Amino acid sequence: MLSLYYYIQVRKFTIKGVKKRTGDVKNEIDVLEEYSLQFAYCGQSFRWMLENALDLKVGWFVDTICNEMVTNPTIPVSQNKAALMKYVESFK
């Protein structure tokens, strides 16, 4: 149940961020851009990380996340990693 609560809270916060920058809440990539990292640069948005923190360490980290299997999709950090992976892959 925690997982559903977590998802709803993250989604609400994210939608506020999308609206604040006049993005399209129906566009999945616009929404993923505003997701907050739950690991590494905790609290920063996915968009912020890709715009501001792409040094070798972060590039390696993103590559590692994209090649990692989600082990337990009910754990919030795993959900966050899966969302980051989807966002990063949208640029391929």
Alpha carbons 4 and 86: distance in angstroms, whole number: 19
Number of domains in the chain: 1
What is the mean predicted confidence (pLDDT) over 71-85?
76
Largest CA distance in the chain: 37
Whether pTM exceeds 0.85: no
Three-class SS state of 75: coil
Residue 43 region by backbone torsions, left for phi larger than 0, else alpha for psi between -120 and 50, else beta: left
Sign of CA dihedral 19, 87, 28, 35: negative
Within its chain, how far is the Cα of 47 from the centroid?
8
Question: Domain range holding 24?
Answer: 2-89
**pLDDT of 27-77, one tens digit each?**
988 998 888 887 766 778 888 888 877 665 667 777 777 677 666 667 777
Amino acid, res. 31? V
The residue ranking higher by pLDDT, 88 or 39, is 88
Alpha carbons 28 and 92: distance in angstroms, whole number: 16
User: For residue 1, what pLDDT is reported?
Assistant: 44
Does 19 score more than 90 pLDDT? Answer: yes
